[in-house]
Each structure stands twice: as C-alpha cells, then as structure tokens.
Structure 1
Amino acid sequence: MSDPQYTRRVIETHTLQSAHLGEDRTLKIYLPPGYTEHPEARYPVVYCHDGLEFFTHGRIATICNKLILEGKLNPLFIVGIEVHKQTRNDDYGPDGARHDAYTAFVAKECVPFVEGRYRVSDDPYHRFMAGISLGAAASLSLHLRYPELFRRLLLFSGAFYDTSRELVRRESFLNDLTAYMVVGRQETGVDTTAGPYDFYQANQTMRDLLRARSADVTYKESDGTHIWGFWQKEIPDALEFLQRTLA
C-alpha cells in the first residue's frame, strides 16, 4: 500500500469547540478522490470514534483511497472524531458520567458542522458510524438515542457490557438498524480496567440480541486479538460491506 497513488490523500483537520463537552475536539476528515471535480455530487460519510487512531493505527484513509481508486468502493467521506483518552470511558460508556454530553456533541455539533461544510449526504442510510471496543458500544448507543441520524454501524470487537445489553433488551424492534460486526476468536480474556473480559462471547450475545429485534446484522469472526493490527486487517471488508448496503 506504499504506492503513491494510494497514499496521496486529501485530509483536512478542524478544531471544533463543543458547548456540550465544554472543550475542543479535533476532527480529521478524509475527502474522496474527485470531490472538487464533481460539485454537484453528495457523498456517504463514516464517522469514527477513536477517530485519529482510525487514521494512524487503522490506516482507514489509505485503505479507503485504495479501494476507491481500484473501483471497489464508491467515493465517501471519513470523519475521525478525536478521543480524549483520560475521559474515554466516561465519554463512550453508555453508563459513563459524560456519555450524555458526548453523544449530544456528536449528534448536535459534529454532524451539523460536517454537513454544513462538506457535500456529505444527510440521508441516515448514507450516514455510517464506526467504533472499536468501547467505541462500538458508543456507536450502538448513538443509534438508540438518535435513530433518525444513525442507522448503519461498523462494530469492531464491541465492549458490550451489561449496560449495552440492557439498553438493547429494552427495545422491541430495531428493524431500522443495519450493523456489521467483527470480533477475534482469541478475544476471550482481554485485560480491561475492570479485569479480564470475554469480547468474543459478548459479541455473539449482542449479535443474537440485535437479530432477535429484527436488526439486519452481518456477523464475522476471524483469528485475532484485541489490537489495532487485527482491526486494520478487517477494515477493507467493513468498507466493502458499506458498498453493498449502498448498492
């Protein structure tokens, strides 16, 4: 992937002052090839929690650029939302002290900012959200809170603790949700701040809960552990899944 045609990408950076969080957050935004040459076009968009890491560790912009230039993926935007690591659990966890503020920031500040500045689609079926681990739990929570905004999720090794499961159990129907889930078979005893956790079983449980409520779930498991090296390898399949949902 070192070919210059793939690594020559347009990425813009913005600092967004959040009234809900009371702090600044950086947004890193990938613009698809041909964006400036097609002023009439509107594009799908993927919002990513742990967003800067999706660009650096996950290499999502380079992978996306390559797939677009090879004709395997239609052009789309990627928005990386900066994480503040010291408050990550409180921001992303559905029972976190700042979760209300964080989800309001994404829905009421981040999305309007991006849609007001770029020609991205405001169709909820063309607006995607991606997260790894606790970021996947945040993505699911955002769908439950703002289903009119987010109906397409990419969930990598979701940290679906009791609170996330209980939120889903309260729902009768989730037939407006389409989710792509992937987890590593070796994620059975991952060290977390709360002790070892079985992500593999947790994702199987969440898959079943979502399907029981009529969500459209594509589930994949592969050999891998709870690290960016695993998630980076899974990003191409996840992006190609988006292509199929848009076809």
Structure 2
Amino acid sequence: MKRIGIVREQSFYSEALQEEMTLLIYSPRNFSPFLHYNLLIAQDGLDYFRFGRIARQVETLMEEDMKQLIIIGIPYINVDDRKEKYHPDGHKFEKYMNFLTDELVSYLDNQFPALKGKSEYTLIGDSLGATVSLMAGLLQPAVFTKLILQSPYVNEAVLQAVENFTSSSSPVIYHQIGDKETEVKMMDGCVKDFLTPNRELNKLLTQKGFSSFYEEFKGEHLWKYWQASLTPIFRTMFN
C-alpha cells in the first residue's frame, strides 16, 4: 500500500523578524522518532507543496528506498514580503537569514529532539528562494550541508558572497537554470537575464571547489519546469 504522508501547519514567533512564522511540516505517515531522517527546508513553502507537488514526489521516491525525508515548508505572506526577506537588498533579508540559520534550526531541533545532531539539513528554493538558500548555505555550511537551487536570482552581491567564501566545509549543491531564462519578467515589471549570471555563478562555484551539479534544462522561469525537475534532483541528492 502506498505510504501517505501527513502535512500539518505549525507556527511560532520569530524574535529576529518580530512576527509569527507559519511552517508546513510534512512527515511520513509511519514517522518514528527512532528512525533517521533528513530535513528538507523549502523557501516558497506553499508553492512547493501546491505547484511543485513535492510531497507526492517524495512519497513515490521513498517507496523506491530513497532516504527518509521530513519537509519543512516556509510560506511567504505576499510578493512584497517575499522580496523583502529573500532579496539580498531586501529590508528583512538579514533578519530572515538570522531566522533561518539560528531560530528555525533550534526550533526544529526541539521539535525532533531524537534527530538533533544526526540529520542533514537541505535547503531548496526557486528564483529568489534559491538565492536566499544559497546565501544561508554559505553562512552556515556545517548546518546546511546540501543546497538545491532552482533558477536562482544572481546579482553582484551573490557572486561576491561566493567569492568571499573560505570555510573548510562546503555544501553540496544542485544548481539548475532554464536555457530560455534570458528575459524573465520580475514582479516590479523589470525584465532580467537569469541565464548569463547563473552561468557565471556555476563557473565561480567550480573555481572555488564546491561539489556541485549544474544543469541547464530546456525551458523557462516557470513552475512546470521546476516541478518536473524535482524527482531527478531528489534521486541525485538523497540516494
């Protein structure tokens, strides 16, 4: 019988952000505190459950003996809230980074005490969600050991953060971008070339010695391409 996971909504107050944060927590139906799990933290959390169908894909893969996963989705309030928290120039970016790297990890350690110090944390995000995931992984590479970056927004601040990275430990990265992402319409109406700076990011990650898998898929800056990519990405990252 196919395993059916459970998604529950949970919230806690973030001192860093001074607001109540909602989490969507997926766990396998047969969850046991005595089993080993990896934790996957998704920016754009509701989008990954709704448009990415992430839970269904993970369940199918776990039936094929993929590593057991708990998914933590972090929804955003609206597009302005998303930009303020995820964009490197956003007013809440540093506060959100503190929430992600400190508060959230501590909170999850308390929620799953048997997993403390035993589980790997992976960050996943699309577009700006991938950007903030990369920046958090560079800040805490010993905590966020894997990063899944789907069409990240890359600017000079992102490239400089990679250039300045000097830690002896580094996250394993799955980095993808669409070959038609040359004219991406942003929420503010501006049109950006995502492909060229992502190619530059890939070269820089290689030069810096990161263990990374880079892929250019045939497609645009759209969920239908990111959704279709998730199963092969998870097979690569969680075998």
TM-score (norm 2): 0.92
2:187 is the counterpart of 1:190: no
Q: How does 1:52-201 map to 2 (within 5 A)?
A: 52-71=46-65, 73-85=66-78, 86-118=80-112, 121-123=115-117, 126-172=120-166, 176-192=170-186, 193=188, 195-201=190-196
> Structure 2: how far apart are the matches of 1:157 and 1:34?
33
> Structure 2: how far apart are the matches of 1:221 and 1:181?
9
Q: How many residues of Structure 1 are paired with residues of Structure 2 in the alignment?
A: 237
2:21 is the counterpart of 1:22: no
| Alpha-carbon offset, residue 125 of structure 1 | 7.2
1:213 corresponds to which of 208, 214, 217: 208
Which amino acid in structure 2 is aligned with residue 128 of structure 1? T
- Identical aligned residues as a percent: 27
Q: Moved runs in structure 1, 4+ residues, more than 6 A? A: none
Residue in 1 aligned with 2:226?
Answer: 231
| Alpha-carbon offset, residue 119 of structure 1 | 5.4
Which has the higher mean CA deviation after the structures are superposed, 81-90 or 207-216?
Answer: 81-90
> Structure 1: how far apart are the matches of 2:153 and 2:114?
29
Which amino acid in structure 1 is aligned with residue 218 of structure 2? D
Verify the 8 A CA contact 2:42 2:74 in the aligned structure 1: yes
- Give CA deviations for 1:5-53 in whole Å, capped at 9, x if unaligned: 36x32112101211111111110011024313xx421311110100111
TM-score (norm 1): 0.89
Which has the higher mean CA deviation after the structures are superposed, 116-125 or 82-91?
Answer: 116-125
> Structure 2: how far apart are the matches of 1:201 and 1:137?
15
| Alpha-carbon offset, residue 228 of structure 1 | 0.9
> Structure 1: how far apart are the matches of 2:210 and 2:117?
19
| Alpha-carbon offset, residue 95 of structure 1 | 2.4
Which amino acid in structure 1 is aligned with residue 19 of structure 2? E
